[in-house]
Each structure stands twice: as C-alpha cells, then as structure tokens.
A and B are shown apart, each in its own frame.
Chain A
Amino acid sequence: MTQSNKSLIKERKKSIQTKGRQASPIQCEANSVAGCVSQRACVYCGARVVLNPITDAVHLVHGPIGCASYTWDIRGSLSSNADLYRYSFSTDLREEDIIFGGEKKLAKCIDELVQRYHPPLLLVYSTCIVGVIGDDLEAVCKTASSRYGIDIIPVQSAGFSGNKSDGYRVACEVLLRMIASPEGVEKNDYCLNYLGDFNLAGEAWIISNYLKEIGVQVNVAFTGDSTYDTLRTAPTASLNIVQCAGSMGYMGKRMEEIYGIPCMNISFLGLEDSADSLRRISSFFDNHYISARTESLIERELELYAPVVEHFRSYLEGKKAAIYVGGGFKAISLIKQFRELGMEVVMIGTQTGREEEYHTIHQMVEDGTVVLDDANPSELERFMLEQGADLLVGGVKERPLAFKLGISFIDHNHERKHPLSGFTGAANFAREVYSTVCSPVWRYLDARGIED
C-alpha cells in the first residue's frame, strides 16, 4: 500500500525502534511533533485524572467550557460515600472575561459552590488561557480559602505547559500541599498508603481487602475513593506502595523525603505480579502472622483464579498482542500479563513513558518487537499490520482504529467497568482478551463477500 510508505515523519524516527536493530536508546519524554496526530492529552488532563477521584472535593475548572465538558464523569472511579467528584464545574469563561480578566468571575463561582455544596476541599484547575490573560489563581484561592476556612487550592495545569506527565506532577504537588502538617506525625504500624490506584471498578477496594486479610491496613488510596480527611492522614502511614508509578512515583519519592515513609513499587496486574507484590509487602513488615496469612491468601486466590486464566490461555496461546497505553508502568505490567496468557507482544508503545521504563520494556520484549513513543494512528496502523497483531490494548481513541483494521481490542483505560487488578482482575483480563480475540465476528470480515 502506498499509505504505509508515508506513515513516517522524519522527526518521529528516533521514537520508533525495533528490538535488536538499534543501539541507541529510544527518544521519549519529548514534545509531540506538530501535525502528527499524537494520541497524547495535556497537563490539565494529567492533573485531573489524578485528582478527580477525591470524592468530596469540588473540582472547578477555570476556563472556557470545553475542558470541563470533556471531563465530566468520564472515568470509572468509584466512591463509597460522597459523589461531588462526579460533577463538572466550570467558570465557563466568555469573550468579556478574556478581555477583562476572569478573577472576579472565579471568585463568584467559588462563593456559589461553597455556599451550595459546603465542600471540605475545592480545587481550581487552571486551563491554557488563565495565565495568558493574567489571572492570579493563587491570590483568588487564598482570599476565598481564608474567608471560608477550607482548603481552596489552585492546580496549575495550563494545557500547553507540558504533557500529561507534567500534569501528574502538578497533581502530586497539590496533594503534598494538602497533606502538609506542620507538627510531627505519629506513625501507625502495619498501615500503608496505596498510591496510584484510582479505584476503577472498585480495584482499590479489592487490594485493600487483600491487605486487610493479611493484617495490613490501607490508610488511604491515592486517590481512588479518597476524601479530604482521609488523604490528610497520609503522613501517619509506615509504608507507601506505588502501583501507577507514572502518576504517583514522584509522590512516593517526595513523601519519603518529607515524612521518611519508605516507598515500594508494586503491581497488582496479573496473577504473578499480584502474588509477588503481596509477598514483598509482607516481607517489609517482617511478621510471621502476616507472612503466613499472605501465603494462605495467595494459595486460595490462585486456586480460584489460576484455572480460569489457564482455561483462556488454551485459546490464546501464540496470539500476538500490540500495546499502546498512557504510561510505562501499565505497558510493563501488560507484557507480563500477556506472558501469563501465552501471548507474544509484537508492538508496544506509550504516550508518556520514561526513559527507564523504556529500558525495562526493551529488556522484556523479544527481538523484532516494535517499540514506539508518542505514536500516531498512522504508525499504529502500519506496525500493527506489519507485525500481524491479533489484539490491541489501548484507550477510547485507539479502539475504532483497531476495529477498522479487523483487530480485536482491550479497553485498558479509566472508563472500564470491571476490575483488572488483583487475582480476580487477572481472570477478568483473561476473559476479556478471550472475548475479543476469539469472537466469531472476525470470521465474517475475512470471508468472501457477495461481490463475485
């Protein structure tokens, strides 16, 4: 096809590699190339993803309407109590606000929201134009905060000021500011914070239950099903475990520096990683009771779910997977999960993976696997077809592309409505892969039609 020859833009070449054929490391953590149809989002997106699951906060977007509109209740974070986070508030800036400044309108919006909802926390997200028109978010928030006696914190998330990863960082700064406690804190033994789980389809609940069973308490998850009050207790934990390192690795590192809380990267995606992570947590606490409980939990869960994974593996062995997800942590976990299913990863990429994550990916995949950073639809199309992928894992934008190419698809995004974490999640993942790869619909796409 003539199309494929055109699918590479010169500036993109350093961001695409085939394992075994290049010596230099992949180019990543760079700005997107204009006009290439990057799948990346913006700083605001990153900040909102991380902070939105705080259930009792008012999330107010300071800007024109679009940014609030595209993020209204689109994510599957569940709450055990408050549901204010499922609303989308906007100052809805208009032409006159752009000319005369939006500070007054912002102040009025904050007044209205505090009076109507009495939130313990109000987050004001800055969008692209806020800095450009010269609004002083910090000042408006400070004034309102002292008037109402609640935390009103600006989130400096102007879209153009970086990419989604920078937004994660901004969110972590906000969280650090929120939990800051001037007095020294007393640590609770056997109590940890669970960083980088947004409680999609109840995933943070599943992991909390495991930990409770082995005798460890989850103090608070960042930020799945969290509240202002629970987050504020974070400094009292004696360990931080980090699932999504892309968004929360920084938070863990900073809390280690500030509060001396040790930090451990774990992963609850897949049977192997789930068991391994529980064992590592257990050995951190170095307690016979905990390690005995951990082993019996793992034994029981594997007994329940390993046969399920095994069953689906028999259908999936030898199939080829392509991965294109947001961050490196998820990509790495997915390689292992596909291995559990007997599937080979033939193409793998992320929107905002970091250099060290690409290094890990490079070591894990087989020779000939295509690795790409900040890919676009043309590249995804070309390499999925060239590599003969049977399946793509990705987000909403990638789904229709896979389907149009006749390739099955896994939604590994924030909208999912079934958990993919823990042992039960690993079984769900296997079932989902089976349900798409082995669907009868593909047969008809290849079958001879009615033409001749």
Chain B
Amino acid sequence: MMNKPTRVRNVTENPCNMCMPLGAIIPFKGIENTMVIIHGSQGCATYMRRHMAEHFNEPIDVASSSITEQGTIYGGEVSLIKGLENLITLYDPKLIGILSTCLAETIGEDLQRTAAAFMKEKGDQVDVQLVPVATPGYGGGHSEGYLQALFSIVRQISQNTEKHDRINIIVPHISPADIREIKRILALMQLKYTLLPDISETLDSPYSKPYRRIPGGGTPLAEIKAMPGARATIEFLPTVEDELSPGEYLEKEYGVPLYRLPLPMGVEACDELIRVLKTLNQQRVPEELKRERGRLLDAMVDSHKYNRDGRAAVFGEPETIYGLARVMAENGILPAVFATGSKSPNLNQMLQPLLAEYEEKPVILLDSDFISIRDYCVKRNVNLAMGNSDGRFLTEREGIPLVRLGFPIHDRVGGQRLLSIGYNGTMMLLDRITNTLLEAKQRVYREQMHKNYYLPSTAAANFK
C-alpha cells in the first residue's frame, strides 16, 4: 500500500494542526515594527500567544478585538476599530496584520472594509499600514494560515518599483536559527537580498536593555514594497499551489524571475541552492562552503550504517516533511509514515520520485491526526519519529524516540535555535537522528541479545 485516502473517521483525535490565525501571526512577526490583532474572542489571541511563547521563549504580544456577546450579535467592527487605536497607542507599529477567526468570519465581518474605513478616518493621524487577512479557523490549519498571510503581505504591500540588485528570498515556517543560516550563506555568496519573513531576530532576540515591546529585526517594510524590483526570487515553497505562491505572483505581475527550490536540507538540495546563487552572483563558490559540504559528506559516511536501522515516521508542515524526505533518501533511512495536518495537494506527488528506491513504500497521511500516526507507527514498526514535540506522545505510548524539529517544541528549550538546513544544519540534523538511533540501540541491545541467545547452563543439562 503506497497511500491512504484522507480521513475516513469524523472525529479528530490529538490534532496535528493548529488553526489558521496562529500560522498567520508568524509571517507578520517577521516584519520590522509590526503588530498583529486577531479579530475574534479574547481567548483566541491568548491561546495562540501561549502556544507560541512556549516554543520561542519570547514574549509574544498579539492584540485581540475581544469580541463579546454584544459584538457577536451586532457586529464587531466597533471593537476592531477601538482595538486598532489602542494597539497603535501602546506599540506604535508601522504595520498591523489584522487576522480574522472562525467567529469573525461566521458573523460576517468584513476586514477589508473595516480597515479601509479606519484608514479613511484616521489615515492622516497615524503612520501605519494595515494588512487584513481572512483566516477562519475552519478554513485550514496553521500551515495554510502562514501561506495566506505571506501571500497577502506580498500582494498588499509590494509596489511597482525601479529595478535594484537585491534578490527576494521567500521562506516557509522554519526556525530563527534556520533563517540565520540562510542569511549567512547569502552573505558568503556576497548577495544582497530581501528575506521574507525574517523571524531570525524578532522571535529569537538577544538579551538587551532597554526592553523593546516590538523586538528589533524583521524584514524592512520598504524592502517588501520593493520586492517587484528584485533581480530574482528564490522561494522555498515547492509544495505550495501556484495561486498561493508569492514568487509566482511576483513573476506574473512584475516579471521577477522565479526559482522555486526545496528547503536546503540534504546535499542535493543545498547544492541546488548554491548553483542558483552562483548564477546570480557570477562568482566562485567560497572555500568555506565547500569545506562545509565536505564535512557533511564525511558525516554521512561516518553514520550511514547506523542510519540504515531507522524506520521513521515524519510529521509536521509540508515543506519540512519534504526536506526530511530528501535527507532520509540520501542517508538510507526508511520513511515508513509521512503525515501532515495540512491537506497539501502537492506533497504526495512530490514525494514519489524520492521513494522510488525503497522496496517498502511509506504511507502518506494528509489532513491527519496523531491517533492515525500512532496506529501506522505500530503497523509499520516505526523506531524513529521526527517532528514537533506533540510526537512525545509516540514516545510515551509506544516507546518511539523523537527527533524534535518544527513547531511547536513545548517540552524542551531551544526549539527556536534548532538548526536543520544548509550543509551545516543538515549535518547537525543528521547527527541528532543518528544519535537518537544509537541511544535507542545502546539502551536495549544487551538485554535483547541476552533474551534472544543466552541459554542458562541448567537448561542445557536437561538434554542429558
């Protein structure tokens, strides 16, 4: 069996998904001087803040329009406008993302209209731009929310501009450490760029005094405006439909050449990125990157036999799953289960070429939950899980060790600092994987060999 159709049950047990507005907060958090207001009941913003604060270990300030019973009956526009005013007073942001919720959409709130009305009335008193995004909780998971927000940001902010020598780098939901690594590689390749969204400082900010309510860093607004004038776009969103790809939009509307690449996870995907960067900068690849590549190859050889023991379940957001699939294919780790809470229309098809060499084909679960993942882990004899910390449930219930990456990481510190991309990041990820397999083996092998092969001498005596 290669694949399983989407859910046959009605009930979702132990979700593999967060909701759309949570995903949509993240790209906004990666823009300079930006705040977000959630148009919905007070609890939505609070739950999302809690969920994110625990992962990033950073203050996550997100406002709410705090719709009440009254607002639900008579409309929430008044609350939203008041919310915008107060938010501006408290934080003085230059950009505000306005996100809807299941409640706002169901009672028929029109964010665009409210935003326009606000700007018409207050536009001359405030220096702020509003980006409304429809993110009903029933419209998809956090992955879809992330993409929806990212696309809306580019579409609503970018303007026809003069050509300049930066390139656009558009990234999926990856860790601040991953983004820092991409920026390091771009610096080594001596390229100027606009990276969107850049959460590398905003969601992993260094300790400094005085405290800033909106942390420093993030993609400058002026650069997002100028994205149509870039030399090219590199977008690490290969599984995304064209209609939601900001890079496709910039190419179609403004003729910015687009390179759609997988996340640089694994040697080949990293090479692919470096080759594109090389054509863009017309220079030789720096020695440092070559050495990093060589070190990754060396690490792969060192650990390849251990990695053959791995029968993995991989879950999380589509781009990370695809990246992990490439790392596994290059290192001889068997993928037994792929699962995402997203409906991702392209993931299945994209994974197929990577699976050609495996005798045993994995099951691919879209729109899934952790009960299904657990069931398949048992059926497929999985001995390694990779994904966010909700997978700890697989460890607790089935004894399957978990390599943590993605979002959220709630039961360990440093989720925001996990590096898993680029030559260096791939190497560190591979080490984490191999060491998890080694640890599991070292824990049981004495006992297991004893159980399998040792016969007490008295038992032998019985044959006399």
Contacts and interface: CB of A to CB of B under 8 A. Distances in A.
Interface of A: 1, 3, 6-7, 9, 31-45, 60, 63-74, 87-95, 97-98, 105, 108-109, 112-113, 127-129, 132-133, 159-163, 376-378, 381, 395-397, 399-401, 403-406, 445
Contacts of B64: 32, 34-35, 37-38
Contacts of A45: 43, 46-47
A98 B18 contact: no
Contacts of A105: 10
Interface string B35-78: 00100111111111111011011111111111111011000000
8 contacts: A36-B90, A38-B64, A63-B102, A65-B19, A72-B14, A89-B12, A159-B44, A400-B53
Given A43-B43, A160-B41, A112 B11 contact: yes
Contacts of A38: 42, 46, 64, 66
B14 A88 contact: yes
A334 B398 CA distance: 40
A273 B85 CA distance: 45
A91 B18 contact: no
Contacts of A39: 46
Contact of B53 (A41, A90, A399): A399
A46 to B, nearest CB: 9
Interface string B319-344: 00000000000000000000001000
A88 B47 CA distance: 15
A159 B43 contact: yes
Contacts of B87: 35, 37
B86 A400 contact: no
B213 interface: yes
Contacts of A161: 69
Interface string B1-43: 0000000011111110111111000000000000001001111
A95 B139 contact: yes
B55 to A, nearest CB: 10
Contacts of B107: 132
A44 B101 CA distance: 15
B141 interface: yes
A377 B72 contact: no
Contact of B86 (A33, A65, A89): A33
B112 interface: no
Contacts of B72: 128, 132, 160
B23 to A, nearest CB: 10
B106 A9 contact: no
B150 interface: no
B89 interface: yes
B18 A6 contact: no
B211 A381 contact: yes
A377 B43 contact: no
Given A42-B46, A64-B19, A381 B213 contact: yes
Given A396-B54, A445-B207, A35 B43 contact: no
Interface string B79-90: 110111111011
Interface size class of B (residues with CB under 8 A): 35 or more
Contact of A70 (B18, B40, B67, B139): B18
Interface in B190-227: 205, 207, 209-211, 213
Nearest to B47: A70
A396 B408 CA distance: 14
A34 B86 contact: yes
- Most chain A CB atoms below 10 A, which of B9, B13, B40, B68: B13
Contacts of B139: 95
A91 B102 CA distance: 14
A109 B11 contact: yes
A387 B44 CA distance: 31
Contacts of A65: 12, 15, 17-19, 137, 141, 341
B390 interface: yes
B99 to A, nearest CB: 12
B138 A128 contact: no
Nearest to B10: A108
Contact of B11 (A32, A89, A129, A132): A89
B92 interface: yes
B103 interface: yes
A92 B15 contact: yes
Given A1-B210, A160-B72, A132 B47 contact: no
A40 B46 contact: yes
B12 A91 contact: yes
- Most chain B CB atoms below 10 A, which of A69, A74, A90, A405: A69
A112 B11 CA distance: 7
A43 B49 CA distance: 17
A444 to B, nearest CB: 9
B90 A31 contact: no
B90 to A, nearest CB: 5
Nearest to A160: B41
Contacts of B65: 34-35
Interface in B400-419: 410
A298 to B, nearest CB: 37
B46 to A, nearest CB: 5
Contact of A90 (B15, B45, B49): B15
Nearest to A131: B72
B13 A87 contact: yes
- Most chain B CB atoms below 10 A, which of A38, A70, A98: A70
9 tightest A-B CB contacts, nearest first: A42-B43, A66-B19, A35-B83, A35-B86, A34-B83, A64-B137, A159-B41, A109-B11, A160-B41
Contacts of B207: 404, 406, 445
B46 A397 contact: yes
Nearest to A112: B11
- Most chain B CB atoms below 10 A, which of A66, A73, A74, A133: A66
A32 B68 CA distance: 9
Nearest to A127: B102
A60 B17 CA distance: 16
Nearest to A113: B11
A221 to B, nearest CB: 24
- Most chain A CB atoms below 10 A, which of B22, B66, B138: B138
A9 B90 CA distance: 8
Contacts of A127: 102
Contacts of B45: 37
A37 B103 contact: no
A37 B137 CA distance: 20
Nearest to B43: A42
B46 A160 contact: no
A434 B254 CA distance: 60
Contacts of B47: 41, 45, 66-67, 70-71
Interface string B351-376: 00000000000000000000000000
